[in-house]
Amino acid sequence: MSTNRKDFLRLTAAAAGGLGLGISPESLVAGSFRKPKSPARRAISILILGGTGFIGPHQVRYALDRGHSVTLFNRGRTNTHLFPGVERLVGDRNGQLDALAGRSWDVVIDNSRSNPDWVRMAADFLKDSVGLYFYVSSRSAYSDTSIVPMTAAAPTYTYESAGVSRDAESLPYGLAKALSERTAQRIFVGRTNIVRPGLIIGPGDETDRFTYWPVRINRGGEVLAPGEPSDPVQIIDVRDLTEWMIRMAEDGTTGVFNGVGPRTPRPMAELLYGIRAITTAESTFTWVNLEFLTQIGIRPYSHMPVWRPPTPGSEGFARFDLTPEIEAGLTFRPLAVTARETLDYHFSRPPERQEDLRAGISAEREAEVLAAWHARR
């Protein structure tokens, strides 16, 4: 089915009580958005394990802007040019932690990917010299996403529910995250803050899992739109995630939270038309259902990034109740801002990188799928 702008506005008006794209007129121009600044609750000292990847620089920048003291601990091999005035301690999460000895901080933020042993060694080493342990986990830690709405109380993976032997040499990502959470909570009893983000998007993202859509829509023409226009989406801008974590650190907030947004799940149609609104491209969306995409070998969340339809067993994947998170200070940028600044970031990259998106499907494959869809109908 091909949906034009008029059809979309009618659809979203009916589905969202007239909210349309959910973007205020003044924020349709991304550059007009300025997130209000508030003073830091208190100045704190923050140790960041990592700090040079995707989310780390955003954490550092915001913490410095709010007057906090920041120390980075990493191997000193990646993005060493960033933040020349910030203290750096060189070591390795795999046991080389001596550089942390004899120091103390109010908060440690652990951005490690998915290694429970790294969390155990760092937490053991720091348990008497750090007040709070913040761990960046993942929505993938949940073993059951069929619950609607999802909350932080949903079950997370165990060896048994993951079907993995306890002596396995490698662990699935979701299980590794869940075990890392429990390790931090066991060592820092009552002093942990666990955040489980969904897909993290925005400037600096090298996975291109969201970037695919602004780039593709900006190219114009007939765009393959997956599934149903009403399929829900909950993702998060990297700055909304990291700035929220810094504010919670200031407040000494502990607990387990989900890092997704917006508060009300955004229909896939709203996401795509919201992105279209920040471009000047002439484009149309052709909605191709899940059954056909499956038959032709197009997979959700990989070939069609962001999109994961609410199929049996994953009905709650993008239907989180964010009441506790919003009460803890989570806020959301307008989609227009994230889309525009993601596209600007993409075009700031070298030409060869712009031509090598790491997610989504090629223009040729998209054309093949659309041709097959039209021929079938």
Radius of gyration of the chain (CA): 21
Tokens of 164: 């993995």
Task: For residue range 313-365, list pLDDT tens digits in order.
Answer: 999 999 999 999 999 999 999 999 999 999 999 999 999 999 999 999 999 99
When the pLDDT of each residue in the chain is averaged and rounded to a whole number, the result is 91
CATH 3.40.50.720 boundaries in the chain: 35-197
Which residues of the chain fall short of a pLDDT of 50? Answer: 1-33
| Dihedral sign computed on CA atoms, order 164, 167, 172, 173 | positive
The confidence score (pLDDT) of residue 114 equals 84
The CATH topology of domain 35-197 is Rossmann fold (3.40.50)
Query: 229: burial class by Cβ within 10 Å (0-12, 13-18, 19+)?
Result: buried
Grouping H, G, I as helix, E, B as strand and the rest as coil, residue 262 is strand
Tokens of 210: 């969201």
The confidence score (pLDDT) of residue 93 equals 86
The confidence score (pLDDT) of residue 193 equals 98
The confidence score (pLDDT) of residue 36 equals 54
Question: Looking at residue 100, what DSSP letter applies?
Answer: G
Q: How far apart are CA 37 and CA 263, in angstroms?
A: 21
Among residues 332, 308, 346, the alpha carbon closest in space to that of 217 is found at 346
Distances (CA, A) of 85 to 64, 69, 78, 109, 308: 10, 11, 16, 19, 42
For the chain, how many helices (H) and strands (E)?
13, 13
What residue has token string 């506005």? 9
Among residues 301, 273, 298, 277, the alpha carbon closest in space to that of 288 is found at 298
